[in-house]
């Protein structure tokens, strides 16, 4: 079997943060990959917001060059020196710096640490896993966080911001399937039918949350999953009911938080940070197990579209422009 494979390659031209970078579809050898104890024949990957930042160079996500982007991958073990995996095993990888500091999933092959992998859940294809990807896995971690703070369907509605994006789409489908009343916040009114199909009961314009508001507003939801940050998150907190909880996992609107302590000390609201990149394996296994059980596969397919490796750069540009709805699956063989 040949050691050659196709990969998307980001290269830097010069020193320093301002030096230009380029992206090309390259043919590599296995020796070009970084160290690891498991080699995976990649079947599918994804295009996430972070991939968009890396590929376009819009943010200094990539920390070494050359780099194969792609923070997610799913495929079949080709070779393993790790006790937990054998050739032929189907596996999934999310995060751990892959696509940033370690060569990632936008390639037909990857060499990674076995400790970063989890088994592909039974009954799930690699395409399903990548339709979920880091975005859907993060959404599940957020739902688990709300459950940990006893935000159940009987407590009241749950808000999802950035609703038409990857995290938001999966969050709505999960929450709806679990019996929650879901409020979806989006800046794309044209996506209303799509969001209602996923399970949103009410849709609000993101402008309601994007302008500076009161430190404490009229309570509107028992919990929330926020992918936006900044002023939006401040307003989400201000309108959370007594004893409610907000799971924050994104900063599409900015990394600042111009908020007041009043929701915390007057209403006992909890702000729970959710990290998907370095989450421990037990939490990953729980999240993937719940995704296999709780995510409506028909809704997953409805929110997903598939592209080949040669279309990833365009998709990366579009995701930063807010033109991508739901999940983008990459068939690396196409």
Burial 138-153 (b: 16+ CB within 10 A, else e): bbbbbbbbbeebebee
Q: Give yes or no for residue 243 having a pLDDT over 50.
A: yes
pLDDT band at 2 (very low <50, low <70, confident <90, very high): low
- The residue among 31 and 16 whose pLDDT is bigger is 31
Predicted confidence (pLDDT) per residue in 194-204, tens digit? 999 999 999 99
pLDDT (0 to 100) of residue 73: 98
Mean of the pLDDT values across residues 137-159?
A: 98
Q: Which residue has the tokens 């407590």?
A: 155
How much is the mean pLDDT over the chain? 96
Q: Which of 2-6, 79-83, 142-146 has the lowest mean pLDDT?
A: 2-6
Q: Is 199 left (phi over 0), alpha (psi -120 to 50) or beta?
A: left
- Count Cβ atoms within 10 A of the Cβ of residue 154 and give its class: 0-12 exposed, 13-18 middle, 19 or more buried: exposed
Cα–chain-centroid distance for residue 124? 18
pLDDT (0 to 100) of residue 228: 96
In angstroms, the CA 159 to CA 173 distance is 13
Domains of the chain: 4-120+303-331 (3.90.180.10), 134-273 (3.40.50.720)
In angstroms, the CA 221 to CA 246 distance is 10
Predicted confidence (pLDDT) per residue in 95-133, tens digit? 999 999 999 999 999 999 999 999 999 999 999 999 999
In angstroms, the CA 149 to CA 248 distance is 14
Q: Is the pTM of this model over 0.75?
A: yes
Pairing of strands 158-160, 182-186: parallel
Q: Give yes or no for residue 1 having a pLDDT over 50.
A: no
Mean of the pLDDT values across residues 288-317?
A: 96
Mean of the pLDDT values across residues 218-232?
A: 97
Residues in the chain: 334
């Amino acid at each position: 079997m040949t050691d050659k494979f196709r990969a998307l390659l980001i290269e830097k031209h010069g020193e320093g943060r301002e030096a230009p970078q380029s992206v090309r579809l390259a043919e590599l050898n296995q020796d070009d990959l970084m160290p690891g104890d498991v080699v995976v024949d990649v079947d599918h990957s994804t295009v996430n917001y972070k991939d968009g930042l890396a590929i376009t160079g819009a943010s200094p996500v990539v920390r070494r060059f050359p780099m194969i982007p792609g923070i997610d991958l799913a495929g079949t073990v080709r070779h393993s020196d790790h006790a937990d995996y054998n050739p032929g095993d189907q596996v999934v990888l999310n995060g751990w710096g892959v696509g940033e500091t370690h060569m990632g999933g936008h390639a037909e092959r990857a060499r990674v640490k076995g400790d970063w992998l989890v088994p592909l859940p039974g009954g799930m294809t690699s395409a399903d896993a990548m339709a979920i990807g880091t975005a859907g896995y993060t959404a599940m971690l957020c739902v688990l966080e709300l459950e940990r703070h006893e935000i159940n369907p009987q407590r009241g509605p749950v808000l999802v911001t950035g609703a038409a994006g990857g995290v938001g789409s999966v969050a709505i489908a999960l929450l709806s399937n679990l019996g929650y009343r879901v409020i979806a916040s989006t800046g794309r009114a044209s996506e209303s039918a799509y969001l209602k199909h996923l399970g949103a009961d009410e849709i609000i314009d993101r402008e309601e949350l994007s302008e500076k508001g009161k430190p404490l507003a009229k309570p509107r939801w028992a919990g929330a999953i926020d992918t936006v940050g900044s002023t939006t998150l401040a307003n989400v907190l201000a309108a959370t009911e007594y004893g409610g909880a907000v799971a924050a996992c994104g900063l599409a609107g900015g990394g600042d938080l111009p908020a007041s302590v009043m929701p915390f000390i007057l209403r006992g609201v909890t702000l729970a940070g959710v990290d998907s990149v370095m989450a421990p394996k037990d939490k990953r296994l729980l999240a993937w197990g719940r995704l296999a059980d709780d995510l409506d596969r028909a809704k997953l397919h409805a929110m997903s579209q598939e592209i080949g490796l040669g279309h990833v750069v365009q998709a990366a540009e579009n995701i930063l422009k807010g033109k991508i709805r739901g999940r983008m699956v990459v068939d690396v063989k196409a």
